[in-house]
Amino acid sequence: MTSEIAHFLLFGYDLEEFPGRGYLEAIGSGVAISEDEVVLLCHLCAVEEKDGTLVLVNEFPIVSPSESSRLTKAISPYITDDIHISFVPTRTGDGFLILSGAVSPAVTDSNPIHEDLPLIAVQPIEATPQAHKTAKALNSYLRWAYHTLESHPINRDRRASTLPPLNSLATQRAGKKRDLMCFLEKWGLNGLSISSGPIYWGLCRELGMDVKVVEDSGDPERDLLERLRLAHDAVEYDFVHVHTKVPDKAGHTKNPHHKKEMLEALDRAMDFAVQKIVPHADILLVVTADHSTASVGTMIHTGETVPVTMIGQYPRRDRVTAFNEIDCAQGALGTIRGKELMYLILNFLDRGKLKGLMDTPFDQPYTPGRYQPLIVNGD
């Protein structure tokens, strides 16, 4: 499971409501997106023609800012079948494809992820005219982009220098704005996210949370410590999301010793939470992960359960004394599905509503509800 979907579920939303990473990351990056536009993640890559296909030979070639700027300008804009496609660059070689017209986000990726595999023909996921038209337009654009980039002088120079060409685009994770209930209305909690990365900024802002933008310095202990201090001082909020991507990045290196070092650094930072946050009786501290990233094998993320612990006034104290995937699964919380986490949080905040009581037309799970008081002299 990807980080953005895992967070969406952890925040208590249904998968069917998910807007798509392309849209959320664009919002988090400050790109203006209209309600009827579709956004895809994309990046420059190197491909070779083989048996009539484009085989991915280098997904992330080294590219200079100058090369990236000139190449991305060469492949934007593009218009076909009344669909307008533009490339909006972000980081060097990366960006967003923004589609406008009669478009749908219900299309497949073109990025096979693994090298030595051919790029994927974009196909509709839904049997709608918009999805079919969008898939056709994207395939047309990707073919045109390949021929444009393949003959570009930059790639002739790169080949002469024995560098891989930047001759194609890989696309994935189409998204579009969805109407979502804000986090405060859904859970009765005023939310703040302290996080680094456009995907978390975009997701949390889309859910109506405030966002404290922080950056990764390369010192994971210091970074997490600073975020915990910010959370400790954010007394005007009911729910504070503190995020670090360090364990995930360490897992992707496939070096378990490096991952161990990163976890030890985060453990040291967590001492602040033990000393300064846990003693507050009215605070519930929840520590968990959004997904598992193994240090072995070829999978990007794996499907094992992740550990979770809750410390506060109301959670039961069980016999688990170690925070890891094996021990936590044997604790009093049992195995929790992502969407169940918010209900448990309300429960252990002493804020859960007795099911069946209706103080508002919408059966919200928290109490007191945001109900309409009875006016004495009203009609």
- Residue 378 above 80 pLDDT? no
Identify the CATH homologous superfamily for domain 183-348.
Alkaline Phosphatase, subunit A (3.40.720.10)
Tell me: the pLDDT tens digits for 107-141? 999 999 999 999 999 999 999 999 999 999 999 99
pLDDT given for residue 101 in this prediction: 95
137: enclosing H helix or E strand? helix 129-150
* Region 190-204 average pLDDT: 96
Contact of 77 with 85, CB cutoff 8 Å? yes
| Model confidence at 196: pLDDT above 90 | yes
Helices 21-28 and 3-10: angle between axes, nearest 10 degrees: 90
CA 38 to CA 23: how far, in whole Å? 7
248 pLDDT higher than 80: yes
Contact (Cβ atoms closer than 8 angstroms) between residue 138 and residue 121: no
Give the HSE-up count for residue 282: Cα atoms under 13 Å, Cβ half-sphere. Answer: 5
Three-class secondary structure of residue 46 per DSSP: strand
For β-strands 94-100 and 53-58, DSSP reports them as unpaired
Comparing 369 with 200, the larger pLDDT belongs to: 200
pLDDT, position 287: 96
pLDDT bracket for residue 207 (50, 70, 90): very high
Residue 48's pLDDT is 96
Share of residues in the chain with pLDDT > 70 (%): 100
98-107, 289-298, 315-324: lowest mean pLDDT where? 289-298
Amino acid at 251: G
Report, as an integer, the average pLDDT of 248-257: 88
Q: What Rg do the C-alpha atoms of the chain give, in angstroms?
A: 24
Per-residue pLDDT, 253: 87
- Mean pLDDT of all residues belonging to the chain: 94
Length of the chain: 379
165: Cβ–Cβ under 8 A, 6 or more apart, which residues?
A: 46, 61, 149, 150, 155, 158, 159
Q: Given this model, what pLDDT does residue 224 score?
A: 97
Question: How far is 83 from 92, CA to CA, in rounded Å?
Answer: 26
Does residue 1 have a pLDDT over 80? no
Rounded-to-integer distance, Cα 218 and Cα 4, Å = 22
Share of the chain above pLDDT 90, in %: 82
pLDDT in the model for residue 285: 97
Overall average pLDDT of the 271-285 stretch: 95
Over the stretch 312-360, which tens digit does the pLDDT of each residue have?
999 999 999 999 989 998 999 988 888 899 999 999 999 999 888 898 8
CA 144 to mean position of chain CA atoms: 30
Kindly report the backbone phi and psi dihedral angles of residue 228, in degrees, each rounded to the nearest multiple of 5, phi listed first.
-65, -35
Is 90 exceeded by the pLDDT of residue 298? no
**Domain definitions of the chain by residue range:** 28-175, 183-348
pLDDT-based confidence at 144, cuts 50/70/90? very high
Whole-number pLDDT of residue 184: 96
| Model confidence pLDDT, tens digit, residues 52-94 | 999 999 999 999 999 999 999 999 999 999 999 999 999 888 9
DSSP secondary structure letter of residue 34: -
The pLDDT assigned to 114 comes to 92
Distance of alpha carbon 106 from alpha carbon 85, whole angstroms: 16
Q: What is the pLDDT of residues 163-190, one digit of tens each?
A: 999 999 999 999 999 999 999 999 999 9
279-286 long-range contacts, CB within 8 A, separation 24+:
281/312, 281/313, 282/313, 283/312, 284/310, 284/311, 284/312, 284/313, 284/314, 284/315, 284/345, 284/348, 284/349, 285/310, 285/311, 285/312, 286/310, 286/341, 286/345
